[in-house]
Structure 1
């Protein structure tokens, strides 16, 4: 039976059940008195909560509480303030535990003897409510219900439509993050919109119109449009909890109050639970917004140029104005600082798939770009071929593919998704967007000959700047459009950064293309995308071999 559309005996759909049949908020109960544990267990179960009992004594009790809170994805807790010694007036081990259970809203039970200590710390305790032990256990119900309404969609009665939006979300890999507790998705939304009575959710389309395969895999995230009650929509990103935490940190470090004008998405709220988190962003400009991938396919090159100029020369220009020069820099290391351990995780143990004897691969002398990267850069630091005498670093978006760049009907361009935002090679964003276009181009041919001509055109220049069109430029209009757009990006890169060394740009294209090739699924529908990325990487390697070193 479909768990998202199961019906009750009355035939009514289970309303806002958020992907679960009758989900109950899980409440962790932590007390060093076993009898008290069972008292609260028996009390809260008929109130519509699922009690989770921490077992053990002293330190083992605290360890078990932490383990069970995470395993059961608890959102609430009832904790005795003195878990180690009931007779020690300064024992606040329960309060310390409550502070460490960050996704959890806790109710801490304290005795009269704890009052002095409590008065000193009560104002500094977020997400914690204090209740006297002398109160009757039954009196905790209104407090527990009030806390539950803050963090649980089901307890607030938040109405989320359409009902099948959860089915769509769970078809992504977010389902792996929430496990058997998919109500976390709804709870994140409830915390992002604390005053909402209803939410209408739409999934922001991120796939290319002309391709059934997204050019950029999003293994652990989803982008949504959310309409709260009768307000205008906002954008919501949901992803792994740790990724949202990083995004929040980088947003406030590099984006808030640091970009020119108002054309950047303002983070309004964020919420992080055990497996998943979310961040909501305000819209910029009007609400007729398209991803750049859609806009690119629908609009003429003149409009595309106008939007790209707006973004790089206005929205992001302040970061380029604060660029710093660096000497004797490894471009491989600069990209690694933005992407983390991408090489160790994705590339180091990557096995090149069997490549058919197509003419392009033969023309490239069967060059394996992964082995080439290892031998010339990654595993030979003393002879790192990507090292340059001089370059610049600046704050880059770090993930500027065509689905993170949004365009409205007035040609305003702005970005979302700041998880990788930070100091990096100043050309990185220009390179990443071009790499996305080169790999996104719809192509159904078997020989790759037309693509090979495209790659030759974009890799042959000796200096960073416009790409000249000639009689040898492929005549296919889609290929010419990619070349024209790449030419615009390179012209902007030169104007915004002052760098003319095309070799630096090519290195960035190589890293981005290999990164893409190693994250694409190896299943049959994605095999061609991976093959073309690897062939493009091979072509870039050949061109780098031909270029003079500074």
Structure 2
């Protein structure tokens, strides 16, 4: 694999491999072989059920990419012991090679089809066969920087990897181990057949240089996620790639399947093309169905960019009218609408898993005024105001709830002059019916628009 045009050697050096074997001598021999080939080998020495548990913990702690697992971990004398096979699903996203002295054709078939092992190697076959199996699995699944010549993928970050570095740093804030190669590994698995992948982060470069950093970046750079326009090989239409914390991408995929896949009508909609999870990070790819402008390599733009380059309000409104139309997201505002339980504040707090309540004390310490880049002036700080008034402020009479996008800002909506495609469904679900309208208007007023005062 190549990263930003630099070729990595065809080697197993640095590959993180878990070794699980209840025979201490054979375990040490396997570790010695892996280290000879340049791998980082991790081998728990527990016995019985404790070995099973330690294998799962060790694989996660070191973000292992591969595992070499003995088939009989509990009782070598029992033909019924297939505990190694049962361990395979527990070690994902590591790819597991079953390495056994007792296997036969049926066990090999079970390893592949029932338990999802990546390969099966008999111990009597010798180290050369195991080494070939490791390289074969690495090549097939495009594991980053270890991939063979035939499967090389050139990954190019248009910002030199700055967005990747900041994402990794945000994931490490809870002191977890995040390997430097995990993002490239993930992209290799997402685009396993690609020769070249170019990633352009969605960032906001239009605001004043003297504005606070937190205000000048896209909302997509303020959380443990990053969104990219992605060019794959010479395909004329670009894809949208979201990278982020494993759990966030899981919620994204779940919400897409629940609300978007069969919930959006019309011919213009986002379509999930694939998703993968590693130990810390996950990724999901979207295509924009109905985007027929294949002659324009830029394809649709984010609404933020579209707003700034289009000066006719009637044209700006057209893709928004499409998004809120009853055949698109507007259908959710017409079906299943119910009274909202509790206050608007309580509804938002529930959607944010209680983080709003936890923020009140911190926000109360903020200055009463805040600088708004789009307005180029300081106004009442809404966070401080909310901390002072959230117990009594509920200005909407008879509030209702519906299925809302949940994070509808200008960089989560791709548009052409006539159509709109939402992305980023991590927060999609029930919420105040005005939520999407209010959040998009707020983003326009405080970030996207640059008013001449």
Partner in structure 2 of residue 336 of structure 1: 349
The CA distance in 2 between the partners of 1:91 and 1:188, in whole Å, is 34
Partner in structure 2 of residue 398 of structure 1: 406
Partner in structure 1 of residue 133 of structure 2: 143
Partner in structure 1 of residue 154 of structure 2: 160
How has the CA–CA distance of structure 1 residues 240 and 135 changed in structure 2, closer, same or farther, with 3 Å as cutoff? same
Question: Which 10-residue stretch deviates more, 121-130 or 189-198?
Answer: 121-130
**Alpha-carbon displacement from aligned partner over 1:26-61 (angstroms, at most 9, x marks no partner):** 111111112212222222334453222222222333
Q: C-alpha displacement at 1:99, in angstroms? A: 1.1
The CA distance in 2 between the partners of 1:432 and 1:478, in whole Å, is 22
Q: C-alpha displacement at 1:86, in angstroms? A: 1.6
Comparing both structures, which one devotes a greater share of its residues to strand? 2
Partner in structure 1 of residue 315 of structure 2: 303
**Alpha-carbon displacement from aligned partner over 1:227-282 (angstroms, at most 9, x marks no partner):** 22222321111111111111111111111122112322211111110111111111
Which residue of 435, 439, 445 maps to 1:438? 445
Comparing both structures, which one devotes a greater share of its residues to helix? 1
Partner in structure 1 of residue 233 of structure 2: 229
- The answer to whether structure 1 residue 15 and structure 2 residue 7 are counterparts is yes
Q: Check conservation: 2:268, 2:419, Cα contact below 8 A.
A: yes
The CA distance in 2 between the partners of 1:58 and 1:165, in whole Å, is 49
Compare CA radii of gyration and give the structure with the larger one: 1
- The answer to whether structure 1 residue 69 and structure 2 residue 84 are counterparts is no
Q: C-alpha displacement at 1:357, in angstroms? A: 12
- The answer to whether structure 1 residue 264 and structure 2 residue 275 are counterparts is no
Q: Check conservation: 1:106, 1:129, Cα contact below 8 A.
A: yes
State how 1:110-129 maps to structure 2 within 5 Å.
110-112=100-102, 123-129=113-119
Which residue of 227, 231, 255 maps to 1:250? 255
Q: Check conservation: 1:215, 1:436, Cα contact below 8 A.
A: no
Question: Which 10-residue stretch deviates more, 342-351 or 37-46?
Answer: 342-351
The CA distance in 2 between the partners of 1:169 and 1:23, in whole Å, is 26
Paired residues, number: 420
**Alpha-carbon displacement from aligned partner over 1:91-147 (angstroms, at most 9, x marks no partner):** 333223221122111112345478777766752223543333443343122222121
The CA distance in 1 between the partners of 2:71 and 2:208, in whole Å, is 57
Provide runs of 4+ in structure 1 moved above 4 Å. 113-122, 163-166, 360-364, 385-389
How has the CA–CA distance of structure 1 residues 75 and 175 changed in structure 2, closer, same or farther, with 3 Å as cutoff? same
Q: TM-score, normalised by structure 1?
A: 0.68
State how 1:42-53 maps to structure 2 within 5 Å.
42-53=32-43
State how 1:321-360 maps to structure 2 within 5 Å.
321-326=334-339, 329-355=342-368
Q: Which runs of 5+ in 2 are unaligned?
A: 210-215, 372-376
How has the CA–CA distance of structure 1 residues 394 and 70 changed in structure 2, closer, same or farther, with 3 Å as cutoff? same
Q: Once superposed, what is the RMSD of the aligned Cα atoms?
A: 3.4
Which secondary structure state, in structure 1, belongs to the residue aligned with residue 32 of structure 2?
A: helix
Q: Which runs of 5+ in 1 are unaligned?
A: 6-12, 378-384, 444-476, 480-550
Q: C-alpha displacement at 1:164, in angstroms? A: 6.7
Partner in structure 1 of residue 223 of structure 2: 219
Q: TM-score, normalised by structure 2?
A: 0.81
- The answer to whether structure 1 residue 101 and structure 2 residue 91 are counterparts is yes
